[in-house]
Amino acid sequence: MTETTASTARSWRESLRTFWHPSVITMLFLGFSAGIPLLLIFSSLSLWLGEAGVERKAVTFFSWAALGYSFKFVWAPLIDRLPVPVLTRLLGRRRAWMLVSQAFIILGIVLMAMVDPAAGGGSLTFMALAAVLLGFSSATQDIVIDAYRIEAAEVRLQAMMTSGYIAGYRVGMVVAGAGALFLAASFGSTKEAYVYNAWQWTYLLMAATILVGVVTTLLIAEPAPRQGGGHSSSATYSGMDYARLVLVFACAAAGFVGTFFFSSNAFGSMNEALGDSVLGAFLLETVHFVLAIGVAVLLGWQLVKLGAVNQVMARETWVEPVADFFQRYGGQTALLLLALIGLYRISDVVLGVISNVFYQDMGFSKPEIATAVKTFGVIVSIVGSFLGGLLATQFNVLRVLMLGAVLSAATNLLFVWLAYVGHDLTVMYIAVTADNLAAGLASAAFVAFISSLTSISFTAVQYAIFSSLMTLLPKVLGGYSGTIVDSIGYPGFFTFTALIGLPVLWLVWLTSRKLKTDYSPSAISG
């Protein structure tokens, strides 16, 4: 065996040993805690409401709960800035916020369990508010866990820690999805014979699963301060300064919500005037969103100018994290990186929005879908995430990103095959296997990549911006997937999802040129 071969084999063995590194195991348990809430807000809750006889259109009221995941970057600066009374001193900055968010997640799930949606009156409103609390608290936990992961270990471990987190997250989703449905059914609730107590006990047991995250939070150590960590200012602030900062944030958030929803009818009328075209609706929704953001920013800026908050503190909280990113990479490269982040997941996210409807339209039964997608597919995606993490520790990260981008786009073409053959379990499993393996690999490498772009001084803020941007455009476009299918059919739609992944290949290539070809995990620093 040559010296090079021996060195390569040793490198692979060292990478494989990181599977059992304490930091990777920690992220497995924290990922499980983060994966539980999502389906308790969406699919499991939708089935509960359906069994309770709630009208389908009323279920859309609960989409409010998703706002926390989409806009977590807005309050992430507060998580970086604000101390938690008593707990920050006892546990440290990250663990304190982690414990608080987990406590509110448990509270949100318990409050949902205490409401029977079939009771009428204000029960649906109360449950919707509890779901919003759960979504907000879960998004806050995501912010803190992401910051903890980046700060807790050196760059070489980030890819495998990401893989551990994704694996735990997927298992948590299985528990909150298939597990919750199994519990509700075993407790006696069905579509034909709704039993409130069955769902109540199901959600109470789901609340208990968050204790996995609570125990993990109490056992782990607070990340040690690293060089470059902390904010640039040495100023100290009073409790009143922090309170005023939160108040300004609340006013800006109210401005966004008010603008967005009070202008909805006007934008809806404009969409009807344009003939409900897909492109017109997409452009109008973009303008709608930008308008609401603009009002929120303008309101916050005016309050800062009027002295409602310490201006130095406001600049450190909301301006410096963004300015730091552009200063470190330069304007042109920073915009290129943001474009890559915003588009990298577009192929698989847009396809994923309508995948379950597609399977049903192809004649697959719910048990067949559950077995292939919710069980087998999850296992394959976990394998893919660990494979992506392993490759990212061995090779140039951008090469792994390119591989992930190629696979994410190319595997979508397998669904064209499935659309033509129809109800064929063999082809379905081939498509599900390839899709989930590609998605898992690409996700692990991509999260490790964007983690490396964050500055240790603004970990929570910058990563929250990146992770929100990562799904924002794909989810908005995915919202029109049904209309696109109606227009061009499933084969055309899946071909479209593959083609929109082609610009991503160019962005990865351009990024590798900008960041130089020797870009690797060991070379990245925040």
Asked which of 309, 335, 366 is the last residue of a domain, the reply is: 309
Question: CB under 8 Å to 217, separation ≥6 — which residues?
Answer: 30, 91, 95, 98, 99, 102
User: What does the pLDDT look like over 166-202, one tens digit per residue?
Assistant: 889 989 988 988 888 889 888 988 878 889 999 999 9
Residue 233 in domain: no
pTM: 0.77
Pick from 129-133, 195-199, 460-464: least confident: 460-464
The tally of domains found in the chain comes to 3
The values of phi and psi at residue 310, to 5°, are: -60, 120
Both 285 and 344 in one domain: the answer is no
- CA–CA distance from 6 to each of 15, 83, 520 (Å)? 14, 49, 21
> Residues of the chain with pLDDT > 90: what percent?
29
- Cα maximum dimension of the chain: 76
Question: CB under 8 Å to 419, separation ≥6 — which residues?
Answer: 358, 362, 489, 490, 491, 494
Residue 114 in domain: yes
Both 293 and 155 in one domain: the answer is no
CA 47, distance to chain mean position in Å, is 22
Residue 486 in domain: yes
Confidence of residue 286 (pLDDT cuts 50, 70, 90): confident
Q: Are 296 and 256 in contact (CB under 8 A)?
A: yes
Both 300 and 420 in one domain: the answer is no
**Rounded-to-integer distance, Cα 371 and Cα 369, Å:** 6
**Rounded-to-integer distance, Cα 143 and Cα 90, Å:** 20
- Tell me what the pLDDT averaged over the chain comes to: 82
Residue 243: how many CB atoms within 10 A of its CB?
A: 12
**Domain with 302 in it:** 239-309
Residue 129 in domain: yes
Asked which of 193, 223, 253 is the last residue of a domain, the reply is: 223
State the pLDDT at residue 112. Answer: 95
Q: Any idea what DSSP says for residue 66? A: G
Both 449 and 485 in one domain: the answer is yes
The values of phi and psi at residue 193, to 5°, are: -135, 85
The stretch 409-413 carries a mean pLDDT of: 93
Residue 6 in domain: no
Q: Most confidently modeled of 9-13, 98-102, 146-150, 157-161? A: 98-102
Asked which of 189, 223, 257 is the last residue of a domain, the reply is: 223
> Residues of the chain with pLDDT > 70: what percent?
86
Confidence of residue 412 (pLDDT cuts 50, 70, 90): very high
Confidence of residue 234 (pLDDT cuts 50, 70, 90): very low
Both 192 and 273 in one domain: the answer is no
Higher pLDDT, 8 or 500: 500
Question: CB under 8 Å to 317, separation ≥6 — which residues?
Answer: 77, 78, 80, 81, 245
Q: Report residue 280 as tokens.
A: 């017109």
Residue 124 in domain: yes
Both 108 and 192 in one domain: the answer is yes
Pick from 73-82, 95-104, 470-479, 494-503: least confident: 470-479
Q: Are 231 and 317 in contact (CB under 8 A)?
A: no
Residue 228, pLDDT above cutoff 90: no
Is the backbone of residue 55 left (phi > 0), alpha (psi -120 to 50) or beta? beta
Q: Are 77 and 318 in contact (CB under 8 A)?
A: yes
Question: In degrees, to the nearest 5, what angle opens at C-alpha 347 toward C-alphas 162 and 40?
Answer: 60
Confidence of residue 395 (pLDDT cuts 50, 70, 90): confident
Both 173 and 272 in one domain: the answer is no
Both 197 and 278 in one domain: the answer is no
Both 109 and 184 in one domain: the answer is yes
Residue 171 in domain: yes
Residue 228 in domain: no
State the pLDDT at residue 255. Answer: 86
Both 243 and 322 in one domain: the answer is no
**Rounded-to-integer distance, Cα 384 and Cα 162, Å:** 12
Both 327 and 275 in one domain: the answer is no
Q: Residue 126: give its domain's CATH number.
A: 1.20.1250.20
**Rounded-to-integer distance, Cα 39 and Cα 521, Å:** 33
Confidence of residue 9 (pLDDT cuts 50, 70, 90): very low
Residue 212, pLDDT above cutoff 90: yes
**Rounded-to-integer distance, Cα 203 and Cα 196, Å:** 11
Higher pLDDT, 306 or 238: 306
**Rounded-to-integer distance, Cα 415 and Cα 399, Å:** 26
Q: Most confidently modeled of 60-64, 116-120, 354-358, 407-411? A: 407-411
Both 318 and 302 in one domain: the answer is no
Residue 521, pLDDT above cutoff 50: no
Residue 467: how many CB atoms within 10 A of its CB?
A: 22
Q: Report residue 139 as tokens.
A: 């998004």
Residue with tokens 């989810």: 475
